[in-house]
Amino acid sequence: MNEPMIQVENLTFKYNRLKESNTLSSVSFSVDKGEWLSVIGNNGAGKSTLAALLIGLLKPQSGSIFVCGIPLNEETKWVIRRRAGIVFQNPDNQFIGATVQDDVAFGMENLNMPVEEMRRRVIEALKLVDLLNVREADPSRLSGGQKQRVAIAGVLALHPDLLILDEAFVMLDPRSRCDLLQTLKRLKAEQELTILSITHDMNEAAASDRILVLKNGYVTRSGSPAEIFSAEMDVEAPFGERLRRLLLSKKRRVPESYLTESEWIQWLCK
């Protein structure tokens, strides 16, 4: 059996050592190669802290993190970052280049990649996020959603084994969000890309293979989208599940558990 792409064991972290409460407490989970895991939870649950820990931006008080089978520490974090890319909520923090294509190429330049290969990957990545037509533009003049897509393109151009998205779709309009979700699904299937998504967007979470629920720094549940949305009634669910709950409250006949929108259509047509 292959090693998990991410293995987290008894991870504990607090920002203020003088406080009794932890931001994360004894968090353990794994993510298999080619799996898409979404991490959800209310504000303050510890989601973004977890993302920062997984990439070595923060150091835990206790516990261990393995990424690509490599123990994460000060000596190995740069090796891991060559294989794992992260996109943050605020794309302005990730801009370096004077043009969109320069910015997408920046990470590859640091790896001393041949120029022709860089050019090919820049075009490929910008096509994936539908921004090839603005490749000569100044990134600072783009809309918030376009900036977010440039940041995603810069990471995808590196062909990472692991992609971490920390509320990375928050500035995208619904159509761009839907298109990028479909793109990531395709890359996951074609390249066995492993994705860990920190999100408040339940439609994004519904696209994943598995959902991890964080509450007050603890993992309280892990399961498929169907299992989580059916069991966690306080979670703001995707449209299909909200419809099921509404009809259920009105004592109408409904499916026994969560269905995707396409599954709803099939159920209604029976």
pLDDT, tens digit, 9 for 90 and up, residues 246-270:
877 887 887 777 777 777 778 778 7
| CA gap 118, 101 in Å, rounded | 10
| CA gap 133, 200 in Å, rounded | 30
| Banded pLDDT at 34 (limits 50, 70, 90) | very high
Please give the mean pLDDT across all residues of the chain.
87
Q: Are 89 and 167 spatial neighbours (Cβ–Cβ below 8 Å)?
A: yes
Task: For residue 148, give its domain range.
Answer: 101-159
pLDDT, tens digit, 9 for 90 and up, residues 143-166:
888 888 888 999 999 999 999 999
Number of domains in the chain: 3
What radius of gyration, in Å, describes the C-alpha atoms of the chain? 20
Of 51-65, 125-139, 235-249, the one with minimum mean pLDDT is 235-249
pTM of the model: 0.86
* 89 within domain boundaries: no
* 88 within domain boundaries: no
Q: Which residue stretches of the chain are H helix?
A: 47-54, 77-81, 100-110, 115-128, 144-156, 174-191, 202-206, 225-231, 239-249, 261-268
Both 148 and 32 in one domain: the answer is no
* 214 within domain boundaries: yes
* 49 within domain boundaries: yes
